């Protein structure tokens, strides 16, 4: 027998380098720990605690009852694309051709993945804010892109500064990724700096991927759709969906709207991977966009606003500095005064008080010293969580 027979590989030896380099989601880590605890309170996962409004659920059930259980066009049903076109005209004064400029996806996460796989070549750089949603660096790096982070700070309301974007542009820069209202901070970009960013993109011939999944969830601020800025529609890939504003996380319906050339490129990837979003979810989404359902969205937004005020005041009363979020449904209090890292704070809080929050460090270096707390949960649970956090701080604050 030859002495040169190769030793059998372990299963890990077969895993691709790209897959091996991906870190597990820091958000899911705490969600998994929480699921095995009795009496625990979650301020962790960013999911509305509301059930999808009844008219939307009814539309989904009606679709199933009528036998709509088949594939749709890869682009999605035309009724939904037409409804989205009218929706963006009404709320943001921008026209998208429903036949060529809108693609229905399986959640906004797929739309984000498609956008970067369609535009990124290995070595291309994409500028992103820090803190940022955990999926952004992975979505950029999977097709070979390089995330280039721009720090944002509480003193600047966690807004990305146009001047800081300028400093990081190189010959390899392909795009800027913006996400406002922001996860995890709740920041909203005012129109004036967005105009500056638009000018930077135009002058440097850059694309902008704009994740506006929280667009309808704003409080003391007004959302500006980046593509509505003159000169920007053809260089913006708009990402959106129904999960947050319409409480439709499990339906998995999202969309992207962009220049027809970008949609065609994304469609090529979409048709070979996902095929199409579920038809019953698409039909439910058509119902969601009807004017008659705006009251449901406004009622949920009003309740989020009430909880927002309670949780921000609660953290401040406990002696924790807390930025006042202008959108989405996250509070991002500073825990620097405790002397703990955000990871240590979150793990110890979960162990001792059974309250799950997400350490700010999972959202980037600038998130260290903060925790993300989702207030899309009931008021009694928010109040009880604040009580437990107060008891935790009394024991651990230096």
361-395 confidence digits (pLDDT tens): 999 999 999 999 999 999 999 999 999 999 999 98
Q: Is the pLDDT of residue 397 over 80?
A: no
pLDDT score recorded for residue 5: 61
pLDDT score recorded for residue 28: 64
pLDDT score recorded for residue 47: 87
Q: What is the domain partition of the chain in residue ranges?
A: 11-51+295-396, 67-292
Q: Is the pLDDT of residue 134 over 60?
A: yes
178: how many CB neighbours lie within 10 A of its CB? 23
Q: How far is CA 294 from the centre of its chain?
A: 22
Tokens of 326: 């202008």
What is the DSSP track for 324-381?
Answer: ---BTTEEEEB-GGGT--HHHHHHHHHHHH-EE-EEGGGG-GGGTTBEEEE--S-HHH
pLDDT score recorded for residue 151: 97
Domain 67-292 has CATH 3.30.420.40: no
pLDDT score recorded for residue 4: 63
pLDDT score recorded for residue 14: 78
Query: Contact 306/379 with Cβ under 8 angstroms?
Result: yes
Element counts in the chain: helices (H) and strands (E): 13, 13
Average pLDDT, the chain: 93
Rounded mean pLDDT, 145-152: 97
216-234 confidence digits (pLDDT tens): 999 988 899 999 999 999 9
Q: Considering only 1-15, 48-62, 123-137, 181-195, which range has the smallest mean pLDDT? A: 1-15
pLDDT score recorded for residue 40: 87
CATH number of 11-51+295-396: 3.90.1150.10
Residue 209: strand pairing partners: 177, 237
Model confidence at 34, pLDDT cuts 50, 70, 90, reads low
**Is the torsion defined by CA of 375, 380, 385, 390 positive or negative?**
positive
CA distances in angstroms from 139 to 18, 236, 267, 335, 361, listed in the order given: 11, 17, 17, 29, 18
Q: Which residue has the higher pLDDT, 249 or 28?
A: 249
Q: Considering only 185-194, 290-299, 338-347, which range has the smallest mean pLDDT? A: 290-299
Longest dimension (CA), the chain: 78
Model confidence at 23, pLDDT cuts 50, 70, 90, reads confident
User: pTM for the complete prediction?
Assistant: 0.92
What's the CA gap between 161 and 108, in Å, rounded? 25
Q: Is the pLDDT of residue 45 over 50?
A: yes
Q: Is the pLDDT of residue 204 over 80?
A: yes
Query: Contact 315/342 with Cβ under 8 angstroms?
Result: no
279-337 confidence digits (pLDDT tens): 999 999 999 999 777 899 999 999 999 999 999 999 999 999 999 999 999 999 999 99
pLDDT score recorded for residue 35: 65
Closest-CA residue to 212 (of 224, 229, 230, 201): 224
Q: Phi and psi at residue 371, in whole multiples of 5°?
A: -130, 145
Q: Is the pLDDT of residue 1 over 50?
A: no
What is the DSSP track for 201-241?
Answer: HHHTT-EEEEE-TTTT-BSSS----GGGSTT-GGGEEEEEE
Closest-CA residue to 386 (of 326, 333, 329): 333
Model confidence at 31, pLDDT cuts 50, 70, 90, reads low
325: how many CB neighbours lie within 10 A of its CB? 29
Question: pLDDT exceeding 90 applies to what percent of the chain?
Answer: 85
Model confidence at 27, pLDDT cuts 50, 70, 90, reads low
Tokens of 347: 């793990």
């Amino acid at each position: 027998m030859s002495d040169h027979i190769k030793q059998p590989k372990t299963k890990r030896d077969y895993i691709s380098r790209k897959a091996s380099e991906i870190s597990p989601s820091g958000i899911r880590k705490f969600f998994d720990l929480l699921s095995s605890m009795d009496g625990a309170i979650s301020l962790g996962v960013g999911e509305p605690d509301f059930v999808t409004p009844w008219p939307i659920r009814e539309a989904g059930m009606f679709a199933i009852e009528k036998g709509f259980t088949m594939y749709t066009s890869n682009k999605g049903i035309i009724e939904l694309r037409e409804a989205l076109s009218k929706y963006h005209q009404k709320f943001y004064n921008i026209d998208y051709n429903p036949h060529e400029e809108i693609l229905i996806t399986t959640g906004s996460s797929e739309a984000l993945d498609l956008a970067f796989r369609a535009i990124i070549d290995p070595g291309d750089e994409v500028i992103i804010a820090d803190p940022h949603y955990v999926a952004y660096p992975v979505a950029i790096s999977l097709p070979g892109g390089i995330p280039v982070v721009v720090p944002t700070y509480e003193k600047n309301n966690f807004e990305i500064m146009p001047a800081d974007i300028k400093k990081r542009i190189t010959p390899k820069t392909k795009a800027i990724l913006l996400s406002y209202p922001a996860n995890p901070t709740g920041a909203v970009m005012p129109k004036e700096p967005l105009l500056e960013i638009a000018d930077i993109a135009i002058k440097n011939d850059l694309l902008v991927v704009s994740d506006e999944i929280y667009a309808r969830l704003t409080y003391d601020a007004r959302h500006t759709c980046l593509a509505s800025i003159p000169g920007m529609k053809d260089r913006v890939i708009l990402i959106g969906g129904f999960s947050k504003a319409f409480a439709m996380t499990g339906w998995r319906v999202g969309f992207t709207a962009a220049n027809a050339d970008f949609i065609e490129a994304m469609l090529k990837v979409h048709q070979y991977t996902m095929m199409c979003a579920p038809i019953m979810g698409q039909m439910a989404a058509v119902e969601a966009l009807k004017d008659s359902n705006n009251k449901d969205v406004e009622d949920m937004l009003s309740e989020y606003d009430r909880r927002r005020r309670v949780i921000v005041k609660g953290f401040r009363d406990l002696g924790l500095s807390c930025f006042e979020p202008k959108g989405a449904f996250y509070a991002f209090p500073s825990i620097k005064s405790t002397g703990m890292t955000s990871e240590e704070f979150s793990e110890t809080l979960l162990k001792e008080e059974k309250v799950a929050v997400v350490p700010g460090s999972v959202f980037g270096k600038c998130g260290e010293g903060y925790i993300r707390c989702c207030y899309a949960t009931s008021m009694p649970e928010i109040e009880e969580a604040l009580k437990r956090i107060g008891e935790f701080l009394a024991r651990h604050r230096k």
